[in-house]
Amino acid sequence: MDELKEIERLRNELHLHNRHYYVENEPRISDREFDILMRRLEELEGRHPEAFDPNSPTQRPGSDIAKGFTQAAHVYPMLSLANTYSIEEVDAWVRGVDKLTGTADTTLCGELKFDGTGISLIYEHGRLVRAVTRGDGEKGDEVTDNVRTIRSIPLVLQGEGWPEFFELRGEIVLPWEAFNRLNAQREEAGESLFANPRNAAAGTLKLQNSAEVARRGLDAYFYYLLGEDLPYATHFEAMQAVRSWGFKVSDAMTLLHDIPEVDAYIRRWDEARHALPVATDGLVFKVNNLAQQQELGLRAKSPRWAVAYKFAAERALTPLRFVSFDVGRMGIITPVANLEPVLLSGTIVKRASLHNEDIMNALDIHEGDALYVEKGGEIIPKITGVDEAARVPGAAKVRFVSHCPACGTRLERVDGEAAWICPNKWGCPPQIVGRIEHFVGRRMMNIDGIGEETARALYEAGFVRNFADLYSLTADQLMTIEGFAEKSAERVVEGIRKSTEVPFERVVYALSIPFVGETTAKKIAKSCGSIDRLMTMSQAELEAIEDVGPRIAESILEYFATPVNVESIERLRAAGVQLEMPEDEGAGALSDTLAGKTVVISGVFQHHSRDEYKELIEKHGGKNAGSISKKTSFVLAGENMGPAKLEKAQALGVPVISEDEFLKMTQTDNQDA
Ligand code: IVH
């Protein structure tokens, strides 16, 4: 009975992780943890055939299909690989292969397992005709335009001897250097960071703007040739030919003749992979002889003729010094393990997040425990376990705090979540400092020279107790703070003065109204026009603004019902900060050609990005909507508009117009969009 419940629980859990991984590109657990859950589910389903469900996560690979792309069916299904985690498991696989093929000396091809996103390329008569993502294994998204921007992929083949029709599989990767550059730019712009190169590569390949894809610097390695009647006897030979046609095939690819050679190969690359320009998460071993591959055939989700070997995440054991509780800008309390510094994958780790109370309790940490810290493909280290055997007898269990460590207020649990929050929003120092830091950020008031430490120092010195105090800060005061000299202090004061020119919509975002992010702030600013109007709007009026629901409306009401906030705003006004939209325009309006019209955007565009088209629609008085309905005035369609959308537009009689028609229609001054 219990096992049936466990099956149900595991299915739900795995469906959720599949979504985090494939749809949101933000996995919450490691591949290894995922595999452990999947194996357990497979085992239980094997024992309970009565619980068979065609929709179980074991019955299909995850899908990466995204909105806005045309789908194409794969000629050969795109399978995944079974994983192994030790030389013993590889050995067992080889013995199984030997048995099936009736040989005792199967030659293997060893290669790197690139940690990117899989791609299938179709070449006809020596030219690239189509590139499709893995999708759900049966069909994927056509991303040919984006793939064409990758310089290491030949659009026209070199050399000779290539088949007239073939498919080539490989991995699109974002090399470490490009990955680090991209994240640095995103950090600068206040955007969320990619956790690893794999997510960054997958996210980039699905961008609607090919020019941006080209800028990011993707690369690709190839490892599998498919086609009818190919003239090669072995996989290795085929891959040498692929290399000669102009593709990148890794030099690490090599033939292995027995288990000791496999073992040596694993040891060598577990070390050497750290010096590679791209991320790898393991190795792949393939039966080299193509006739043998054919004979071995496929299982439901993976071939019998290949396995992946996954490198263990680098792990270290280090003593816990203490658990601290960080207070974020929005009051959320995060437990953090403060560790004896330890070297892990080339960086020194001193702190690791324990995320929330549930995760912390599940680890069952006691004072003085030695903790396992892991760093896989992710940048942020995490605590994965405790060395229970080494626990000091009688050591106390580490418990979550009941009161805010910064201001002493009793914590409250966030509804339906594992998070605790300090409700003293306007009086709790780290929350105030966090808001000051947010206020000066590049996408808000854009005041240079004040980072986290300066914000804290200014608060502690009593100079800036609230973001409005910034406008009475003097260079003399700044010079008492470490790191400031006359010139740098004056520069900051000048930056603060200049911030009074920042447009109202960014001021709304800078105020740190809970739940009001950048886009919502823009919509609110445009809709209300001024802070005075915003401060007197009712719940119903607020909810009438696009993107504002009951929770955001309540949060705005509460914000302006709090005296310190009203007072701060009055001081911003006195300092000359922009508290209304400029009078002469509805935010850069170009015309009212599209007044009263609702436009849906679909497909890939040549002349402008999607965001630019959105802006153009608004500047011409129209509204952009996400899905087609009876209210849609027309669909602005680029190349490869989704077939579902096209069908719906036709069914509802909604006109579909091309990019060029649209540009003609709105021909005023589009250049600056
Ligand atoms: S062979 C039918 N070789 O790993 C097997 N895959 O976990 C075809 N991958 O979907 C795949 N490096 O995206 C193969 N040297 C390599 C690989 C590799 C990375 C990816 C690929 C595959 C996934 C399976």
- Let me know if residue 455 belongs to a domain: yes
- Burial (CB count within 10 angstroms: exposed 0-12, middle 13-18, buried 19+), residue 117: buried
Distance (Å, whole) CA 365 – CA 4: 31
In the reported structure, the alpha carbon of residue 200 is separated from the centroid of ligand 1 by a whole-number distance in angstroms of 18
In the reported structure, the alpha carbon of residue 80 is separated from the centroid of ligand 1 by a whole-number distance in angstroms of 7
DSSP 611-642: HHHHHHHHHTT-EEESS--TT--EEEE-BT--
* Closest atom of ligand 1 to CA, residue 303: 2
Is 150 found in the same domain as 55?
Answer: no
- CATH code: domain of residue 150: 3.30.470.30
The model's confidence at residue 62, banded by pLDDT at 50, 70 and 90, is low
Q: pLDDT tens across 219-242, in order?
A: 999 999 999 999 999 999 999 999
DSSP 85-111: -SHHHHHHHHHHHHHHHT-S---EEEE
* Least-confidence region, from 29-33, 126-130, 254-258, 514-518: 29-33
Is 368 found in the same domain as 263?
Answer: no
Q: Is the dihedral of CA 466, 470, 475, 476 positive or negative?
A: negative
Q: Which domain holds residue 103?
A: 71-310
In this structure, the residue with its CA closest to atom 17 of ligand 1 is 113
- Residue of 99, 113, 310, 526 marked active site: 113
| Residue to mutate, 21, 32, 113, ligand 1, most ligand atoms under 8 Å from C-beta | 113
Write down the pLDDT at residue 379. Answer: 62
* Least-confidence region, from 71-80, 326-335, 379-388, 468-477: 379-388
Q: pLDDT tens across 401-411, in order?
A: 999 999 999 99
Is 648 found in the same domain as 539?
Answer: no
| Residue to mutate, 78, 80, 243, 293, ligand 1, most ligand atoms under 8 Å from C-beta | 80
The model's confidence at residue 673, banded by pLDDT at 50, 70 and 90, is very low
- CATH code: domain of residue 408: 2.40.50.140
Residue located via tokens 């086609």: 227
Is 183 found in the same domain as 84?
Answer: yes
Q: What's the whole-number average pLDDT of the chain?
A: 89
Q: Hey, what's the torsion of the CAs at 381, 386, 390, 394, to 10 degrees?
A: 120
Cα distances from 158 to residues 167, 219, 279, 597, in angstroms, run 16, 18, 28, 51
Residue 502, CB-side half-sphere exposure with 13 Å CA sphere: 28
Which among 230-244, 321-335, 353-367 has the top mean pLDDT? 230-244
Is 340 found in the same domain as 267?
Answer: no
In this structure, the residue with its CA closest to atom 3 of ligand 1 is 223
- Pocket lining for ligand 1, CB < 6 angstroms: 79-81, 111, 113-114, 118, 171, 223-224, 284, 303, 306, 308
Q: pLDDT tens across 406-453, in order?
A: 999 999 987 767 789 999 988 999 999 999 999 999 889 999 888 888
Write down the pLDDT at residue 24. Answer: 54
- Let me know if residue 194 belongs to a domain: yes
Q: Averaged over 486-496, what is the pLDDT? A: 95
Give the closest residue to 331 by CA, choosing from 431, 232, 253, 449: 431
- What secondary structure letter does DSSP report for 60? S
- H-assigned helices in 283-423: 290-296, 357-363
Write down the pLDDT at residue 670. Answer: 47
The model's confidence at residue 276, banded by pLDDT at 50, 70 and 90, is very high
In this structure, the residue with its CA closest to atom 23 of ligand 1 is 80
* Closest atom of ligand 1 to CA, residue 302: 2
Which among 66-80, 107-121, 151-165, 353-367 has the top mean pLDDT? 107-121
- CATH code: domain of residue 9: 1.10.287.610
Residue 132, pLDDT > 50, answer yes
Write down the pLDDT at residue 671. Answer: 45
* Closest atom of ligand 1 to CA, residue 118: 13
Distance (Å, whole) CA 497 – CA 447: 9
Q: Is the pTM of this model over 0.85?
A: no
- Let me know if residue 581 belongs to a domain: no
* Closest atom of ligand 1 to CA, residue 78: 2
Residue 585, pLDDT > 60, answer no
- The domain total for the chain is 5
In this structure, the residue with its CA closest to atom 2 of ligand 1 is 79
Distance (Å, whole) CA 226 – CA 169: 8
- Let me know if residue 211 belongs to a domain: yes
Is 509 found in the same domain as 366?
Answer: no
The model's confidence at residue 37, banded by pLDDT at 50, 70 and 90, is confident
Give the closest residue to 315 by CA, choosing from 366, 384, 236, 263: 384
* Closest atom of ligand 1 to CA, residue 83: 7
Residue 257, CB-side half-sphere exposure with 13 Å CA sphere: 0
Is 236 found in the same domain as 293?
Answer: yes
The model's confidence at residue 164, banded by pLDDT at 50, 70 and 90, is very high
- Let me know if residue 589 belongs to a domain: no
Query: At residue 82, what is the residue type?
Result: A
Q: Averaged over 391-399, what is the pLDDT? A: 94
DSSP 473-539: --HHHHHTSTT--HHHHHHHHHHHHHGGGS-HHHHHHHT--TT--HHHHHHHHHHH-BHHHHHH--H
Write down the pLDDT at residue 278. Answer: 95
Distance (Å, whole) CA 516 – CA 227: 53
In the reported structure, the alpha carbon of residue 177 is separated from the centroid of ligand 1 by a whole-number distance in angstroms of 23
Q: Averaged over 395-400, what is the pLDDT? A: 96
Q: pLDDT tens across 147-162, in order?
A: 999 989 999 998 999 9
In the reported structure, the alpha carbon of residue 115 is separated from the centroid of ligand 1 by a whole-number distance in angstroms of 9
| CB burial readout 88-108, b (16+ within 10 A) else e | eebeebbeebeebbeeeebbb
Active site residue 631: no
Is 188 found in the same domain as 264?
Answer: yes
Q: pLDDT tens across 519-556, in order?
A: 889 999 999 999 999 999 999 999 999 888 888 999 99
Is 178 found in the same domain as 87?
Answer: yes
- Let me know if residue 582 belongs to a domain: no
Q: What is the 3-state secondary structure (H, E, C) of 106-168?
A: CCEEEEEEECCEEEEEEEECCEEEEEEECCCCCEEEECHHHHCCCCCCCCECCCCCCCCEEEE
Last residue of some domain: 287, 310, 333? 310
Is 10 found in the same domain as 132?
Answer: no
Cα distances from 328 to residues 356, 425, 556, in angstroms, run 13, 10, 19
Which among 55-69, 139-153, 252-266 has the top mean pLDDT? 252-266
The backbone torsions φ and ψ at residue 599, rounded to the nearest 5 degrees and listed phi first, read: -120, 135
Biggest distance spanned by C-alpha atoms of the chain: 87
Is 458 found in the same domain as 376?
Answer: no
Coil, strand or helix: which one is 450?
A: coil
- Let me know if residue 82 belongs to a domain: yes
- Let me know if residue 583 belongs to a domain: no
Distance (Å, whole) CA 58 – CA 42: 7
Q: pLDDT tens across 169-190, in order?
A: 999 999 999 999 998 887 666 5
With a CB cutoff of 8 Å and minimum separation 6, the contacts of 593 are 620, 621, 622, 665, 666, 668
Write down the pLDDT at residue 546. Answer: 84
Contact, 250 vs 170, CB < 8 A? Answer: no
- CATH code: domain of residue 520: 1.10.150.20
Cα distances from 662 to residues 7, 49, 610, in angstroms, run 52, 56, 13
The model's confidence at residue 66, banded by pLDDT at 50, 70 and 90, is low
Is 367 found in the same domain as 230?
Answer: no
Distance (Å, whole) CA 510 – CA 445: 7
